[in-house]
Chain A
Amino acid sequence: MSAVANATSRPRRNVVWGKIGSYVFLFVLAAIYLGPLLMLVNTSLKTTRTFNRNATAPAVEMNFGNFAEAWEKANFPQYLLNSALYATTATAIFVVTSVFVAFPIARGYVRYAGLLFTLYVIALFLPPALIPQFQLILRLGLYNNPIGYILLFIVNPIGMVILVNYMKTIPRELDEAAALDGCGYFRFVWSIVVPLIRPAIATVVVLHAIGIWNELILPTIYLTNKDYYPITRGLIVFQGVYGSNWPLLAAAVLMLTLPMVVLFLVLQRYIVSGLTAGAVKG
């Protein structure tokens, strides 16, 4: 009798300890993830004087003036507008053109569909395109030009793979039925397939737009005119000028972090499904 009781209570005690251990681990890790953010919020509310005296003391002074000052000094509205313009234009071009590439690949409606698809799949392994791409844009006379900059983002092989894989789940009978009803190819893809693959399109749009929004290297290379800077480049320039004024810089960073966090909370589903696409099946 007692032997049975022992046998059942030992695993249970292990489970309890496992739970406690799990929580300890999660909270320690959470501190590493929250710590830098809390420091950012706290610093943004301090004055330079109190920051220099004690960088980590709680910001009891609640100096919200940093936000107004950073906003005023940094030309953020212009940068944000540029970033939004680049992200929306390039994403729209990419998605519209890609739908008409992905569908015939998924169906095998064009020759060499398999080969073409492989070219998208192996993109990760191709040599970096950085240098010839620059030479191309330079020779087209599109250096330091928003159009040239947007051209850099009109392709996305991973996005294409996601679209193709999702389209493969649409039953083929649909094509036949639509064609019998006299629906043309363009209209079929545009007004029947596109609405059906909306989840995949949302995922691709979100991933692609965030990639453009966060891009730092390409604007540094391609855009020299301050009026064309996206927000990432603008923030780095701001850091170069006000880098020693941490409360001001922290306010600027926080203003650009918060919308991303909110956006992330809203769009989380699509981001996660985009990143895990293909991971489960290999």
Chain B
Amino acid sequence: MYHFGRGRARWVPYLLLLPGVLAYFIMAVGPSLATTVFSFTDASGLPNAPVNWVGLDNYEEFLFLGQAARDNLNAVGRTLVFCFFVTTIQFALGLVVAIILNQKLRGRNFFRTLYFMPVILGAVIQGLIWTLFLYPLGGPLAQILGTFGLRSEFLGGPPTEAFAWVIVVQIWANMGVTMIIFLAGLQTISEEYYEAARIDGANAWQVFTNVTWPLLTPSVNTNLLLNIIGSLQAWQLFLVLIGYRNGTQVLGYLIYATGFGQTSGSVTSSFRQGYAAAASIVMFVMVLVIGLTVQYFLRRREERLVG
């Protein structure tokens, strides 16, 4: 029921809603859907350049043509590897930390704040802090390795190693969000359940599997989806930590590099925005397929727990 008048006055909420909704459609939903259209063209990033329809050429080139396609598929694979490690480790670590910090411990607010703090700093500061921490010529980690007679170039080392360090920094930077969401979930679980379990003589592990884990389902679902989608799309730390280097690229970085020009070794890619749009659609399909699959299994699990 609308109370604020009839007739012409009934249009007031529509008029006031219009700016915000128009902005959303023009700046977000429209461009998002238009990505599909652009992926069938040879659009470039130059002003006034003609745009031609090229059908499926961009997709064919991205997926099947020569060495570049193999590099692209490697980047897709690497994105999945990145997603897998970041999601599993960040999820597990966030859960353990949240459970520990949900106990009555001295200094737990300090630890919560500390673990959460990197989230606020943003990719540039996170990246620069870790570039310094991983300084290969006598930095802290280099010295620790040195005492074991080992040495490493860290971010400047072999691609696989540099890639692994980005995973570490990504988890360091975002574990706080996972922890906070789990903590919020843990605080909704009533103390009575724990007491009942204890009276029944359950040990810590049984309490976890029978009380905490099932009752934590909403936070588990949120964290899994956020971590998976977030890590599939994340690439800012790659930019700050190692730059566009062969053997380390992920899909998000590839889209940016092909769309907006980026030099890698001897290869300078141009502003190929149609092609980059096709790569965006590949990423979209990836996010959608993985996201929906995970959601499907989470739903089934939830029904099993409730039913």
A residues near B, CB below 8 A?
14, 18-19, 22-23, 25-26, 29-30, 32-37, 39-40, 43, 52, 54-56, 97-98, 100-101, 103-104, 109-110, 116, 119-120, 123-136, 138-139, 143, 151-152, 154-155, 157, 160, 175-176, 178-180, 183-186, 188-189, 210, 213-217, 220-221, 232, 235-236, 239, 246, 249-250, 253, 256-257, 260-261, 263-265, 268, 271-272, 275-276, 278-282
Contact of B181 among A125, A249, A275 (CB under 8 A): A275
Which residues of A lie under 8 Å from residue B140 when comparing CB positions? Answer: 35, 39, 55-56
Tell me, rounded to whole Å, the shortest Cβ–Cβ distance linking A68 to chain B: 20
Of B76-84, B118-126, B157-165, the one with at least 4 CB within 8 A of chain A: B118-126
Contact of A185 among B16, B43, B184 (CB under 8 A): B16
Contact of A129 among B35, B100, B129, B236 (CB under 8 A): B35
- By beta carbon, the residue of chain B nearest A52 is B137
Contacting pair B129 A40 (CB below 8 A): yes
Tell me, rounded to whole Å, the shortest Cβ–Cβ distance linking A243 to chain B: 9
- By beta carbon, the residue of chain B nearest A138 is B47
Contacting pair B3 A36 (CB below 8 A): no
Please report the C-alpha to C-alpha distance between residue A18 and residue B255 in the assembled complex, in whole angstroms.
47
Known contacts: A216-B124, A232-B124. The answer to whether A32 contacts B222 by CB under 8 A is no
Secondary structure of the B side of the interface?
A: helix
Which residues of B lie under 8 Å from residue A104 when comparing CB positions? Answer: 13-14, 16-17
Contact of B32 among A126, A184, A281 (CB under 8 A): A126
Known contacts: A104-B13, A185-B9, A260-B121. The answer to whether A278 contacts B222 by CB under 8 A is yes
17 more A-B contacts (CB under 8 A) besides A155-B24, A157-B24? A14-B204, A39-B129, A56-B143, A119-B29, A126-B33, A128-B233, A131-B276, A138-B47, A178-B3, A183-B4, A184-B4, A214-B124, A216-B236, A236-B124, A260-B120, A263-B120, A280-B185
Please report the C-alpha to C-alpha distance between residue A40 and residue B13 in the assembled complex, in whole angstroms.
52
